Structure 1
Amino acid sequence: MSDLFRQFIDFIEKKRLIGEQEHVLVAVSGGVDSVVLFDLLWQFAQIKDVTLGIVHLNHSIRGNQADEDQLFVQKLADKYSVPFHHAKVNVPAFAEKEGYATEEAARILRYRFFENILQTTRAEKIALGHHADDQVETVLLHFFRGSGTAGLAGMKPRRGSYIRPLLFATRKEIENYAKSKGLDFRLDSTNLDVAYKRNRVRHELLPYLRNHFNTGIDSSLLRTQKIMSEIDAFLQQQAAIAVKNCTIESKKDKIILEIDTFLGYFIIIQKYMIFRLLEQLGIERFSLSSEKLERIIERIQQRKIGKKEILPQGVKVSIDRNTVVFQRGEREFFEKIVALNENISLPNGSTILKLTTLLMQETGELFSPKKNIEFVDWEKVRGELKLRTIHSGDRFFPLNLNGSKKVSDFLSDLKVELHRRKEIPVLECDSGIIWLVGFRIDDRFKVTERTKILLKMEIEKINDSE
């Protein structure tokens, strides 16, 4: 057993990167790092209950060379009889169309490919070939970008389904291992192109720093990265507690925080809370720029009601009187024809509406004392009953108020928070809105002494946890 393989096993076990009976996909570009990673994982799989596959993305950056890389990796998969998952994308075209630098465009498409493969294969992990030298370069690049603690903490051995089992090893150790084992690999000419920032750091900046400032700059930067990683872990832990204390409502696509509690924490914890919320909504925290992060916190501090921030991947942050809402995706408009004597689900998913008719003489009541029950005159209802979300410009005649009023103004007067209004439906017929559900009936449909048949409208919670 080689020293590198022994360290490899120790690192995997210490960081708990791979569990028993897991299926691990190895991202193999064909370069020395990924080929060594696959070789080490293949040995690991022989002594552990683990299965492997190979994934490869052709970026179409190097023309025929990229096609030859793909063929090389396919032969490697065939040699070891492991599944080979591959795709081809046009990174230069995507970068030009979307306005990304080539490196960033490649990263975006690569991870989209990985996510798709994870879903289709149901693999538990994807192993990436990043090593200690990559970590040094990453920390420097993040420093130049003005990153905070999270950025200077560098790459993690594990992030979700992605693992980096070679982070402990240097480039030299990996190359020496490949040489000692006689491993074939491909040379990527773009790794020498200093037009790319990472290559300039690798081939120009780091050699200069070693020669003129600190021969041990790599070790120094890795020490800094380790300290920052420890601080980052602590801040994430504190943020998790803080989010729990602030959360009013938490759903798959929406999280609501109480502003006063949020503002009671140090700003650095507030930032980490926002990172955590994004991750809960399925968004990578590094996709949020520091400028936008600062602006969100500033708006929360100033309580700019109604102001919205649009974040990556369709996440919206909106401020209300004492809440801040993080929501992913657009609100779906709800509209359906409803019938009597059915359990009708409301848009919030936690309430049902029941509609029944009964004779006035059966109840003897002109109104219900219960807030969840309303009565109207059934004979004033025209056409089909329809339940729908509120539309912009909706008006009705609120009971006991003179004249009509915009639904939005009515709810505003009641100080109903903006995010709640989107979930409030109206029940209407051809004659207009009958009931702003849960709030007020329309005066035109009210029960009078001449009423003979009642429409009983009752809402009932079906999930108190919401």
Structure 2
Amino acid sequence: MEPIFQFLQRVQKFITENHLLAAGENILVAVSGGAYSVVLFTCLQQLSAKMQFNPAIAHFNHNLRGEESDGDEEFVAKFANDAGVPFFAGRGDVEAHAQKQKMSIEDAARELRYQFLENICQAHHFDRVATGHNADDQAETVLLNLIRGAGWKGLGGIPVQRGNVIRPLLFAYRIEIETVAKVAGLQFRTDRSNFSLEYRRNSIRHRLIPLIKKEHNPNIIASLVHFSQIFREGEEYFREQAKIMFDRCLKVKDADKIILEIECFSGYFTILRKYVLFYMFDLVGLPAGSVSFSRISEMLSLIDRGRTGGFVTVAGEWRLGVDHAGIVFFRRKRWEPVDLPLKPGRSLVIPPRKIKLTTVVLNPDAVVFSGEKTVEYCDADKIGTSIFRVRSIKPGDWFVPLGVNFRQKVSDFFIDHKIPEHIRPQMLVLTNGENIIWLIGYRLDQRFKITDETKKVIKFEISDELSE
């Protein structure tokens, strides 16, 4: 039993060195019924008293092999019962999910399986999920990602820990784990689908790697594991540097936009700029892999040109563009058109902008110019005291901006005055009939300003600015 004892010591050392478990934690062990997950649980159960954690077993039935799948579930249920630990079972229709989400069977099975494990963790207060991935899995993943054309993160392979998911056997080769199972007399199930060459990973496992071992490098598994470590360390470095760079270049950050200083951003190496973009995507919750390499290159090209007004669709409603504020990463909201009446002396709340527009009729001697963009004064006799309207900007809208004596399209005013592209869709105008009185929050129409001859004034005031 000496090999088993030595293997247990290595598992414990790997857990300790990588800070995978803490005393008092509840650990949900994902057990398929195969040799690797059975050995994983057996090792963790042996270490649980010494390391002071509490293991349980979860099994997800993918319903891909009919009675064999059900047999796996029954085997794991008995295995958990014999071990005297809690058991949680789940199942899903992988084929239907793959078809609905337009993904491969492998990806659909993985997604449903991890959803199940996470649901069990939340419902039953488990701190960690342990899976039986090993060094051979790591090598296959790296090779698979290399063939796909992955970047640093993909070439780093399977992380030892991601979120609450840990891989305590990632250091061990399959042959070692199989030897432990044999020497310990452990029973396990064999999944026939692991030998089907229809699946990409199996083709790499049973065809490509044996070919490389035979004709090029008999130690290819170890080489790929080492390769993954180099790239994983590089990935960690670039991610940390990207956070530092992001903080240095940051101008504005809120729920709907991030603005970076373009000169600061452009002063870094290309690879760091890419990592800053990925860091921004993470901040707003865009899924990993949702932005392609070509899309990233398109964004960097746009930024390098430095031309204002252009933008790139990142994913969903998120856009990245360059304007006079800098590099703007923003959520392009679909603002519903506004067209609301406003009576003189009344107030109007404009949803969903949360803007309150108030009107007050004054004598000229009560006017106090503050320079605030949220307040404007108009000659009441010039604009009339009938009902005004607050509406969205329409194509072709024009007015005579205060300070000039010619009419100008609102769209041209935006360009001339460097109004950020990302806020234009939400801007509003105040009108009386066909005339724009006020581009709200920005400029009064010259025709309606107060003069020495003004006898009555209407004051317009908004609660918040529309711009940053």
Q: Please classify the TM superposition score into its range, dividing by the shorter chain length.
A: 0.7 to 0.9
Secondary structure of the residue aligned to 1:2 is: helix
Q: Partners of 1:102 and 1:297 in 2: how far apart?
A: 34
1:30 paired to 2:40: no
- The one-letter code of the counterpart of 2:360 is T
- In structure 2, the partner of 1:397 is 399
* Aligned residue in 2 for 1:415: 418
Given candidates 163, 167, 171, the residue that maps to 1:168 is 171
The answer to whether the Cα contact below 8 Å between 1:382 and 1:431 also exists between their aligned partners in 2 is no
Report the counterpart of residue 458 of structure 2 in structure 1. Answer: 454
Deviations 1:101-130 (A, max 9, x none): 332333344445555556656654333321
Partners of 2:216 and 2:5 in 1: CA distance: 34
Tell me how far apart the structure 2 counterparts of residues 243 and 184 of structure 1 sit (CA, whole Å).
Answer: 52
Partner of 2:152: 149
Q: Which amino acid aligns with 2:284?
A: L
- Which residue number corresponds to residue 372 of structure 2? 370
Offset at residue 90 of structure 1 (A): 2.9
Q: CA RMSD in A?
A: 3.9
Segments of structure 1 that go 5 or more residues without pairing to the other structure are none
TM-aligned CA deviation for residue 265 of structure 1: 1.2
1:89 pairs with 2:82 = no
Q: Secondary structure at the match of 2:312?
A: strand
Q: 1:5 to 1:314 in 2, by over 3 A?
A: farther
Please tell me whether the aligned partners of residues 302 and 321 of structure 2 are also in contact (alpha carbons under 8 angstroms): no
Deviation of 1:192 (Å): 0.4
Structure 2 distance, partners of 1:131, 1:110, is 18
- Residue 199 of structure 1 is matched in structure 2 by 202
Match runs of 1:175-324 below 5 Å = 175-303=178-306, 305-312=308-315, 315-321=318-324, 323-324=326-327
**For each residue in 1:3-58, what CA deviation from the matched residue of structure 2 results, as whole angstroms up to 9, or x when unmatched?**
33322222222222234544443333332223333333444444455455544443
Instruction: Label 1:411 to 1:9 Cα distance change in 2 as closer, same or farther (>3 A).
Output: same
3-state DSSP class of the match of 2:40? helix
Please give the per-residue CA displacement for 1:416-451, whole angstroms capped at 9, x wherever unaligned. 121232454556788776543321235676556555
Q: Counterparts of 2:154 and 2:443 in 1: how far apart (Å)?
A: 51
Q: For 1:274, what is the secondary structure of its paired residue?
A: helix
* CA–CA distance in structure 1, aligned partners of residues 401 and 366 of structure 2: 21
Identical-pair percentage: 36
Question: Would you say the 8 A contact 1:383–1:429 is kept in 2?
Answer: yes
Query: Could you give the per-residue CA deviations for residues 54-83 of structure 1, whole angstroms, max 9, x where no partner exists?
Result: 444433332333333344444555564426
Q: Is the 8 A contact 1:438 1:459 kept in 2?
A: no
Are the structure 2 counterparts of residues 357 and 45 from structure 1 closer, same or farther at C-alpha, using a change threshold of 3 Å? farther
The structure with the largest alpha-carbon Rg is 2
Q: Deviations over 1:238-276 (max 9, x none)?
A: 222222222222234532223322221111212222222
Structure 1 residues 354 and 305 mapped into 2: Cα distance closer, same or farther (>3 Å)?
Answer: closer
Matches within 5 A, 1:374-385: 374-376=376-378, 380=384, 382-383=386-387
Cross-structure match for 1:441: 444
Aligned to 2:66: 63
Q: Structure 2 CA distance, aligned partners of 1:315 and 1:175?
A: 48
Amino acid at match of 2:272: I
Structure 2 counterpart of 1:279, one-letter code: D
CA distance in 1, matches of 2:13, 2:104: 37
Q: Distance in 1 between matches of 2:398 and 2:385?
A: 15
What CA deviation, in whole Å up to 9, does each residue of 1:254-301 have, x standing for no partner? 322233222211112122222222222223444433333323322322
Residue 372 of structure 1, CA deviation: 3.7
CA change 1:129–1:292 in 2 (3 A) is: farther
1:105 is aligned, of 105, 108, 121, to: 108
Q: Using a 3 Å threshold, how does the CA distance of structure 1 residues 45 and 375 change in structure 2: closer, same or farther? A: farther
1:186-230 deviation digits (Å, cap 9, x = unpaired)? 321111011222112111222222222222222222222222222
Q: Is 340-349 or 173-182 further displaced after alignment?
A: 340-349
TM-score (norm 2): 0.81
Q: What whole-Å deviation, never above 9, does each CA across 1:332-355 have from its counterpart, x for those lacking one? A: 558697998989698678xx6563
The within-5 A match list for 1:129-148 is: 129-148=132-151
Q: Which moved more, 1:284-293 or 1:218-227?
A: 284-293
1:13 aligns with 2:28: no
Amino acid at match of 2:5: S
C-alpha displacement of 1:168: 1.2
